Chain A
Amino acid sequence: MNERLDVKKTLKLYINGAFVRSESGRSYETLDANNAFYANAALSSRKDLRDAVKAARDAQPAWQNLTAYNRGQILYRLAELCETRRHQLEDELISIEGFSPSSAKSTISLAIDRLIWFAGWTDKISSIFGGHNQVAAPYFNFSVLEPTGVIGIVVHPENSTLALISQVAPALATGNTSIVIAPYKNPVSAITFAEIAATSDVPAGVLNILTGDYHEIGSWLSEHLDVDGLDLTGVLESELAATLAQVASVNVKRVLTTKTSDFQLPHNPYRLTYWTETKTVWHPIGS
């Protein structure tokens, strides 16, 4: 009996809700856990990055203007779809990152539960981190949290789906849009997540995923005047991370660098507040 030949997938970038090839035409080899060839992934260029930033910027106002309830429902639906595609996500962790089946399972479970955790935050964050302020004068004074805007995210290379969700979900939950540079070693899981997002209710442009090398395009992201925040958790080299953080000062980006990844439990609510701006409003009280 002949063994059936399987149909391989071309890995494309996810920009503005569509799957596109890199404008540079470049690619790089993705190897599996046994160092065998797995696929050619697109090697994003600065122009791909530029397009992704534009898409994220254009999509941001409408994403922010959805009710928090609606945003929460969209993220929850994203979790629903991740759950139904979990086997694929687990398989990719096993074949590319060398996870054991049981740790792949527990990692994906944690990732999905974390997405649900963040989905439930959308309409609660202001009641915890904002609120009425009791000023000593006859004014009604209250603080609300608004999204920072467009966030550039370099995903940590270990536990890639868990890292991706841990870094992306809080930015999206608070009304930001994002450009994500996927882990170089495992671009496949990131693109699977992109496929899940593309078939969910996440609007085009809210999430953009580029496969490639942050050593090359990280500085373009960090210098970009239309990017408001930068998550450098995935930049492993502390010198490079420091340089990128310095460059980001060109437009006073909100920069997050962590020495270790905070991806195991407990979930971290401060990843929400990194990407918010607090607005405080005053109004006189008096007839």
Chain B
Amino acid sequence: MITGFDVAEVTRNDSSLRDFLKSLPGVDKVGLENRAATLSTRSIKTTSKRDFIDLAIKMIDLTTLEGMDTTEKIHTLCAKALHPDPLDTSVPSVAAVCVYPDLVTQAKTYLKKTPIYVASVATAFPSGRSSLAIKLADTALAVESGADEIDIVIDRGAFLSGRYFEVFEEIVAIKAACGKAHLKVILETGELQTYDNIKRASWIAMLAGADFIKTSTGKVNPAATLPVVLEMLYAVRDWHRFTGKVIGMKPAGGIRTSKDALKLLVLVNETLGTSWLDPDRFRIGASTLLNDLLMQRHKLIHGNYSSSRYVTID
């Protein structure tokens, strides 16, 4: 049971980190999944639904991470990010766009003079399989191109072979390379597979200086399941409780419908409260989700069901 710790002490070396991680309470799979399932029965209606839909839109990191991404694709993505519905200016903008490092410059150009951030993946995304030098260079490309946020992946190979301190040190090095940019650390929960692993990886990331911990790259299934998000929110909560510092959380991957998004906001609400219901502390990595939110928003305002023909493609 954690009752308080000193970050420097705990991360002094491999064995102190290992001891700390081992002292973390276990996670009961069935209990965790039960709790997530009960929370997903919350019924979000009328004003709550309206508020949560707009909030979800504001929390989106509108993402494109395809090998076939081009300048024009980035152009349309940024336009959509700013004005999700060209016929309805009451629709808020999203929080950020998320792209590959070599397209950051273009994104920054299209989003000049807007409040929308540009997040870039880095560190041999999505696999993370490369040398530290290359990962640092990858990060530098994004930072120098003007990225406001860097979404990196941890070394799952190192983690699963128990080289926790190596995982930790790598994140520390990349954090330094980020400069003023915010660091989001992707755990790739689908590859970590057990809740106990996800808990340990969350703590390594938080101890190493992450500004956000993030579930997935979106390239591996399962990704941001409700129990995984819940336990990462628990980690962020404990961190705040014991250090007073705020770390954000970002689920990504497989979040397609408004229902999915609303369930996520319920988890945040009941674990961390309204102060975390804020794009500075909670983001949603998604692409198709935005259109479903727009269609739900339409129904709430106009009363009839919408159609995908009434929302723009990215």
Touching chains A and B, CB distance < 8 Å: no
